[in-house]
Amino acid sequence: MQKATTIFLVDSNRLFRESMGALIATWPGFLLAGEAATADQALAVLKNIRADIVLFDIDLIGKSGFVILKHLVSEQRSEKLVILTRELQPEYIREALLLGACGYLSHESSAEQIQQALCMALSGKTVIDPLACKALAEEPVRDGITDRECQVLTLLAEGECNAAIAQRLGITEKTVKSHVSSLLDKLGMSSRVHLAVYAQNTSLLDPPITTRRDSNTH
């Protein structure tokens, strides 16, 4: 018999915890391993148990959910750390992903969306729900994104690797890597996965992409 996927839930709203617990009970192959109302309670319980997923809010009574995130990441725990919250400020989303969260979900997500996102997180993917993506996409872009960087961003959104991007744009792979690094810095993100998710939900993707080699390869 296949082992159930265990979830540890942290939220300061008792009714929300009860609702999520009842929902998780209806998902085949999932099991609620425990719950807590605060960061301190969660970390105390998690000293003694392991779960496959820690599903937690950022806005907790007392210490924030970032305390949970930082502590579990510092201990190199095996749990997938997924945030489920009403807090959709871009700076929160970026910080959570930079610190090591593998998912950022909204309380407005449907039951199906949450379950699907947790399955994706278990498979090693980073999951950002549409409302969180929208919040990131609507934030003013810092430091100016060039047309070439927009083209690279477009191709990242299509799932292209550096070599394929270089071939399509007629530039070197080293130049592509430079553009990706610049985009990560300008957008305050930590990986090309985050860039791709952002790109799929932003209006930056405008400059046409050509396949000829430009005289200026940058």
Share of the chain above pLDDT 70, in %: 86
Structure tokens at 53: 């997923």
66-106, pLDDT tens digit by residue? Answer: 999 999 999 999 899 999 999 888 888 888 888 889 889 99
pLDDT in the model for residue 85: 94
How sure is the predictor about 211, in pLDDT bands with cuts at 50, 70 and 90? very low
